[in-house]
Amino acid sequence: MYLIIDASAVSYLQENQIQPLSPQELFTQITAEIDFYQQQISILNRKLTVLAKGANNG
């Protein structure tokens, strides 16, 4: 039995209920996660730049 933890639920699945992703599906999912986190990094970098400029001017 496998424990699956999601942000909103906890599920228990038997091994025969789990379908592995194909290589293309895995690539697509990982690429989407990388893109998401790169966007988050970009947003945080912009915020840090604004804060740093404010600290230098004050």
Through-space distance between the first and last CA atoms of the chain, rounded to whole angstroms: 58
Name the more confident of 29 and 58.
29
Q: What is the pLDDT of residues 4-24, one digit of tens each?
A: 666 677 777 788 888 888 999
pTM above 0.75, yes or no: no
Instruction: Work out the widest C-alpha separation in the chain, in whole angstroms.
Output: 61
Q: What is the DSSP string of 11-53?
A: EEE-GGG--PPPHHHHHHHHHHHHHHHHHHHHHHHHHHHHHHH
Ranges of each domain in the chain: 20-58
Q: pLDDT value at position 38?
A: 97
Q: What is the pLDDT of residues 33-56, one digit of tens each?
A: 999 999 999 999 999 999 999 888
Asked if 13 and 1 count as a contact pair (C-beta separation under 8 A), the reply is yes
Q: pLDDT value at position 13?
A: 74
